[in-house]
Structure 1
Amino acid sequence: MTERAAKKAPIVRLPPKSNIEIFLTRSSQVSVIFIGLLAFVFALSAGQYILAPVSLGIVVGLMLGPLASKLERRGLLPGLSAILVVLLFVAVACLFALAVAAPLSFWIGRLPQIWGNLQHQLSELKGPLDAMRGMRDQLRELTGGKGLTVSVDEGMGVESMATLAPAVFGQILIFFASLYFFVATRHQTRTAVLTLCFNRRLRWRVAHIFRDVEQMVSRYLLSISLINIGEGLAVGVGLYLIGVPSALLWGALAILTNFVVFIGPAVMVVILFLIGLSEFDSLGGAFLPVAIYLAINTIEAQFVTPMVIGRTMTLNPFLVVLALIFWIWLWGALGGFIAIPALLIVYAIFRNIVPGMDWGAD
């Protein structure tokens, strides 16, 4: 009797939602996502002291992960292979610093001379500058502006250095700790995350995300590092041939700045222009180091990088620019270094969650 009554029970059908109800539901979902993104950005900004070196350690760990895997296949324990990888990274960084320390101190001492040469060269443009200054004064009279007054506290420099040094040292310790433990425990981390997946399909997707992230980031960073080293050597040789002193320093600086695409080369152009002003007597000669650098950088960007990295690693340039702007705004120069690896990580995640998604890869 109970079964018959259950079978004959009326089916309650809810009335279809109106367009207003659907709109309000979608709006509430979008609002929740937007608030979550804002909270995420605020957390990144507020936790910069810890999150920035940890993120850098993870990115460098992804780059050095394949090397640690090769050592582990030879019988080394993960902890020992992580120590060797970190020591290798420290050795390379120290050698690089020693190579550029002496010429860098030399050029820092020549900054007053460079500034004097810049003023002398710009004196040739005195006429156009005076005209621009007159236009500025006229605009100031029309708008009633009084200009800006800047006051400098002479004691702030020493106080800032005394406060900054412990902070920088602490971030360096956080970076190396993050690098070591990430490399040493990367297999355990992957296994722990996979055990949290509640079905086989999700576990398969997460495993592919781990694989793609490690392959894409390590391949990108290792390839870009080799390309940048080659470009730095070419820049150093080119500047040496035209008589620019400390060519090794500018080649090394070209290696570092080229890790931050678009912005790094622009900074390098400004630096080489100032060096040209200090070494040549005319504005035309000052542009000679810039011309050499731009020629080498153009060959690298248009031919070498696409050939080495491949078209499959080419992301939408607009997304690259947005990533650079966001991370540099958030974490400064360190953010500029991790912008592209972070974009590759997000791309690897979404490519496995939403198959067929295209971010501009050819």
Structure 2
Amino acid sequence: MANRTTKKAPIVRLPPKSNVEIFLAQAAQVSVIVIGIIALVFALATGEYILAPISLGIVIGLMLGPIATRLERHGFPPGLSATAVVLIFIFAACLLALALAAPLNFWIGRLPQIWSDLQAQLAQLRQPLQALNGIREQLRNLTGDDGVSVSVDEGMGFESLATLAPAVIAQILIFFASLYFFVATRHQTRAAILSLFFKRRLRWRVAHIFRDVESLVSRYLISISAINIAEGTAVGIGLFLIGVPSAPLWGALAALANFVPFIGPAVMVLILFAIGLAEFDILGGSLLPVAVYLAINTVEAQFVTPTVIGRTMTLNPLVVLLALVFWIWLWGPLGGFIAIPALLVAYAVVRNIVPGLNWGDDAG
């Protein structure tokens, strides 16, 4: 029997890619990523009126999710537990509004007097300001600039309010609808998303992302809320002891401002400095409320928060600052509240995709 020989297909060896081809391929990948990020930012900015209340509802839902879970363990259906969560949030918001309404009305009525007091306290700075005005006049004479006149149409207030009110009401309704349906359908949503992944390894990783997101965001918001309430109470007591009027109001504002790191405390320093200028007779005494607040805030930031939250959730300050700047630029004050939870969500996702990644201060 004759031996049959089979011919093998010739092996074609492609020439190795040049450095230029490798660079172009990598540049194309980077370009696609950059274009995707720009498109995402554009979509977030364009859909602010819808996406911002939805995101806030999801963040509050992650925070109050453990309450719904406890109720469901006692036999409550998901719809009823979600209703209870919404009612708890409304009750807390109304309680806070009622507590702050009277002091705010008092200080709003005192605004003209506060302004006159501020002018009197800052009278000692009049000479440096007059010197600056003299320099400005000389520069204006040299450049021939007569200034720019600005006219304000006072009749636009009511029209702006009438245009803004429906949008605000719509955003509030979107927020409460998002909060309710997120809490009521969180288990079904997770199961539906996991069913889209056929590979067991990928499904396991996505399940861990869901677990980490719920754990990190819920733990952070609950812990920070408790810390901020304690700090606001301490600030209120400290301001009361040094004789600042409406100390509970400033304590509550300090607690709310502390939800936005860096920027919130800076705003509180300016507010307390203005209150100190209006209430104390000398300029040095006006710094006393600021000193009390900064002392309490420093203890909270350096000792209390790292102890309660733990080093594993202490994010790099630069990353936190960049997130705050980005979200405030994108969505305003609401973005400042969403910034840290959004950063924690991104951290949970990236940590499961790239194991060993650390965004914290410590290297361990």
TM-score normalized by structure 1? 0.96
| CA deviation after TM superposition for structure 1 residue 15, in Å | 1.5
Residue of structure 2 equivalent to 1:349: 349
Aligned residue type for 2:60: V
Q: Does 1:295 align with 2:295?
A: yes
The total of aligned residue pairs comes to: 360
Residues 103, 246 of structure 1: 8 Å contact kept: yes
| CA deviation after TM superposition for structure 1 residue 4, in Å | 6.1
Q: Does 1:193 align with 2:193?
A: yes
| CA deviation after TM superposition for structure 1 residue 150, in Å | 2.1
Residues 63, 218 of structure 2: 8 Å contact kept: yes
Compared CA separation, residues 4 and 212, structure 1 to 2 (3 A): farther
Secondary structure of 1:283 counterpart: coil
| CA deviation after TM superposition for structure 1 residue 139, in Å | 3.7
Q: Measure the CA separation in 2 of the matches of 1:141 and 1:315.
A: 52
User: For residues 1-362 of structure 1, what are the structure 2 equivalents within 5 Å?
Assistant: 8-362=8-362
Compared CA separation, residues 13 and 71, structure 1 to 2 (3 A): same
Residues 313, 361 of structure 1: 8 Å contact kept: no
Greater shift after overlay, 315-324 or 152-161?
Answer: 152-161
| 1:168-222 C-alpha deviation (Å, 9 max, x unpaired) | 1110100000000001111111101111112011011100000000000000000
Q: Measure the CA separation in 1 of the matches of 2:135 and 2:229.
A: 47
Residues 260, 337 of structure 1: 8 Å contact kept: yes
Secondary structure of 1:284 counterpart: coil
Residues 229, 255 of structure 2: 8 Å contact kept: yes
Aligned residue type for 2:352: N
Greater shift after overlay, 143-152 or 317-326?
Answer: 143-152
Q: Which runs of 5+ in 1 are unaligned?
A: none
Secondary structure of 1:285 counterpart: coil
Say what the alpha-carbon RMSD is for the aligned residues. Answer: 1.5
Q: Measure the CA separation in 2 of the matches of 1:203 and 1:163.
A: 47
| CA deviation after TM superposition for structure 1 residue 17, in Å | 1.0
Q: Measure the CA separation in 2 of the matches of 1:298 and 1:306.
A: 12
Greater shift after overlay, 126-135 or 23-32?
Answer: 126-135
Secondary structure of 1:79 counterpart: helix
Q: Measure the CA separation in 2 of the matches of 1:136 and 1:31.
A: 48
Residues 82, 183 of structure 2: 8 Å contact kept: yes
Secondary structure of 1:245 counterpart: coil
Q: Which runs of 5+ in 2 are unaligned?
A: none
Aligned residue type for 1:12: V
Residues 313, 360 of structure 2: 8 Å contact kept: no
| 1:243-301 C-alpha deviation (Å, 9 max, x unpaired) | 21111111111111110000000101111111112211111121111111111111111
Aligned residue type for 2:260: V
Residues 232, 255 of structure 2: 8 Å contact kept: yes
Aligned residue type for 1:126: R
Between the aligned residues of both structures, percent identity stands at 75
Q: Measure the CA separation in 1 of the matches of 2:231 and 2:148.
A: 43
Runs of 4+ in structure 1 over 6 Å off: none
